[in-house]
C-alpha cells in the first residue's frame, strides 16, 4: 500500500530543528522561571515588531485572544459583532463568550473571505465591532472595512489565526485595527507544540487592560483591579515560538512555492484553484480547491491513502450549537454552496515534491 499522505505534518520539520528545540527546552527548564519570564516578554516583543504594532499580550489560545480583545474594547452584553459563517467555530464562540451576539455576512465567491460589500446592511444600532477573518493565509480586503468602521464608529478585531505573515497592500495582516489575534496551535503558519495565542494592539490602555484580564484581573500579585481570567503562555512555549518566528518567512516562502507548483500542475484539472488578489500576499496556511463532486473525490483519495481535510464542511449558522442565533439554511448561499465543494490539499513547509506530485496525479485520474 502507498505511504500515507496527510494534509499536514510536522515531524520532518522537527527532525531538522530537533537540536535547537531541545536546547531551548533545557534552557527554559533550568532557568528557574516557568511562567511570565523573559521568554514570553521576548516573544511578545518579536511578534509585535514583526507585525508592526506596539504591544503583544500572550494568552493561552486564540479563542480566548479574541474573547479578551472584545472585552478589552468594552464589547459585551447587548452588542453585535459582525463576522462570517465560513470560519473556525472559535471565532464565533469567542464573540459569544465575550457576551456579544455574532451577526454574519456572506463570503466573496472568489476569495471565500468576508464579502465587504455586505457589511453595511448588517449594521444595526447595536453593532459595535467587526471581526474580519484572514482565512487560509490570505488577508481580507481591509480598506472597505476600515472605512465602514470609521463611518459607524465600530471597533475591529482581526482574526489572524491562519495568516501569520500574510500581507495586505504591503502591510502585515493584523496591523490594521484596534486588536488582532493570533493562534499558535500546532498546524498554524506559526505553530508550536501545544496551545498558545497572542493579542496585538497599538493602544497603551488596551495593552494594560489585556495584561490585567489575562492575569486574574491583577496589575500586581494578589490584588484584583477587576474581574479577570487565567490566560497565559508558559515560558517553554514562548521560547519555542520565539525561535519558530525566526523561521516564519522562510517557511511561508516554502508554502508559496508549493502553491505555485500546485497551480501549475492543476491548472487544467477541472478544480477551482485558489486566487491571490493583487492586494494580497497569500501565505497558504491552506491550499483550498473546490469541485462539485468533492465528497466522491475525498473518498477515492482515501482509498489511495491520501487523507485530506475540509475547512469548513459546516457553515456556523447551520450548526445546532448556534441555532439560537436564529439563522436558517439559505441565509448565506455562497458559504453554503462552498461548504459542499471545498477541500484542502496537503500543505506544510516540508511537504516533499514527490508527495505533491502523487497527490496531483491521483487527483487528476479521479476527476478524469
List residues binding ligand PLP (CB under 6 A).
Answer: 61-63, 87-88, 90-91, 133, 135, 159, 161-162, 183, 185, 195, 197
Question: CA torsion sign, 45 to 39 to 206 to 126?
Answer: positive
- What are the C-alpha distances in Å from 305 to residues 4, 285, 298, 301? 5, 22, 10, 6
Query: For this structure, is 188 an active site residue?
Result: yes
What is the phi-psi region of residue 6: left when phi exceeds 0, alpha when psi lies from -120 to 50, beta otherwise? beta
The C-alpha atoms of residue 146 and residue 231 are separated, in whole angstroms, by 29
Our CB check for ligand PLP shows the closer of 97 and 269 to be 97
Of 85 and 197, nearer to ligand PLP (C-beta) is 197
Closest distance of CB 268 from ligand PLP, Å:
31
| Cα 139 to Cα 133: distance, rounded to the nearest angstrom | 8
Tell me which residue of 334, 287, 294 sits closest to 315, measured CA to CA: 334
How far apart are CB 190 and ligand PLP at their closest, in Å? 11
As measured in angstroms, the least distance from the Cβ of 302 to ligand PLP is 24
Q: Is 3 exposed, middle or buried (0-12, 13-18, 19+ CB in 10 A)?
A: exposed
CB of 64 to ligand PLP, least distance (A): 7
Nearer residue to ligand PLP within complex by CB, 8 or 152: 8
Least distance between ligand PLP and beta carbon 181 (Å): 8
Give the SS3 label for residue 329.
coil
Given the residues 155, 188, 254, 281, select the one marked as catalytic.
Answer: 188
How many CB atoms sit inside 10 A of residue 267's CB? 9
Judged by beta carbon, residue 344 or residue 356, the one nearer ligand PLP is: 344
Nearer to ligand PLP, 5 or 133 (CB): 133
Of the pair 61, 339, the CB lying nearest ligand PLP is at 61
CA pair distance 153, 156, nearest whole angstrom:
10
DSSP result, 192-256: -SS--EEEEES-HHHHHHHHHHTBTTEEETTEESS---B---BHHHHHHHHHHHTTHHHHHHHHH
| Least spacing, CB of residue 33 vs ligand PLP, in Å | 24
Q: What proportions of the chain, in percent to the nearest 5, are helix, strand and coil?
A: 40, 15, 40
Cite the active site residues: 188
Amino acid at each position: 500500500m502507498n505511504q500515507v499522505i496527510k494534509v499536514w505534518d510536522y515531524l520532518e520539520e522537527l527532525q531538522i530543528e530537533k537540536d535547537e528545540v531541545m536546547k531551548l527546552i533545557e534552557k527554559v527548564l533550568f532557568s528557574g522561571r516557568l511562567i511570565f519570564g523573559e521568554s514570553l516578554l521576548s516573544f511578545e516583543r518579536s511578534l509585535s515588531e514583526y507585525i508592526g504594532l506596539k504591544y503583544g499580550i500572550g494568552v493561552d489560545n486564540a479563542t480566548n485572544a479574541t474573547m479578551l480583545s472584545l472585552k478589552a474594547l468594552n464589547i459585551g452584553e447587548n452588542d453585535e459583532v459582525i463576522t462570517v459563517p465560513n470560519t473556525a467555530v472559535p471565532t464565533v464562540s469567542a464573540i459569544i463568550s465575550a457576551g456579544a451576539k455574532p451577526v454574519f455576512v456572506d463570503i466573496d465567491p472568489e476569495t471565500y473571505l468576508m464579502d465587504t460589500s455586505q457589511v453595511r446592511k448588517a449594521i444595526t444600532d447595536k453593532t459595535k465591532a467587526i471581526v474580519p477573518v484572514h482565512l487560509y493565509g490570505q488577508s481580507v480586503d481591509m480598506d472597505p472595512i476600515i472605512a465602514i468602521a470609521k463611518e459607524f464608529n465600530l471597533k475591529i478585531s482581526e482574526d489572524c489565526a491562519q495568516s501569520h505573515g500574510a500581507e495586505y497592500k504591503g502591510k502585515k495582516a493584523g496591523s490594521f485595527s484596534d486588536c488582532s489575534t493570533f493562534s499558535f496551535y500546532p498546524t498554524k503558519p506559526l505553530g508550536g507544540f501545544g496551545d498558545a495565542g497572542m493579542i496585538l494592539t497599538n493602544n497603551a490602555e488596551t495593552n494594560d487592560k489585556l495584561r490585567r484580564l489575562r492575569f486574574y484581573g491583577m496589575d500586581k500579585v494578589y490584588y484584583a483591579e477587576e474581574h479577570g481570567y487565567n490566560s497565559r503562555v508558559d515560558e517553554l512555549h514562548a521560547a519555542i515560538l520565539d525561535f519558530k518566528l525566526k523561521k516564519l518567512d522562510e517557511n511561508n516562502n516554502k508554502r508559496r512555492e508549493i502553491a505555485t507548483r500546485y497551480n501549475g500542475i492543476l491548472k487544467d484539472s477541472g478544480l477551482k484553484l485558489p486566487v491571490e488578489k493583487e492586494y494580497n500576499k497569500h501565505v497558504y496556511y491552506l491550499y483550498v480547491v473546490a469541485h462539485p463532486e468533492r465528497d466522491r473525490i475525498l473518498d477515492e483519495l482515501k482509498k489511495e491513502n491520501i487523507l485530506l481535510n475540509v475547512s469548513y464542511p459546516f457553515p456556523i449558522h447551520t450548526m445546532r450549537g448556534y441555532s439560537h442565533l436564529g439563522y436558517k439554511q439559505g441565509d448565506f448561499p455562497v458559504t453554503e454552496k462552498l461548504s459542499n465543494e471545498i477541500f484542502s490539499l496537503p500543505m506544510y513547509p516540508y511537504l516533499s515534491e514527490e508527495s505533491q506530485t502523487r497527490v496531483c496525479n491521483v487527483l487528476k485520474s479521479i476527476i478524469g
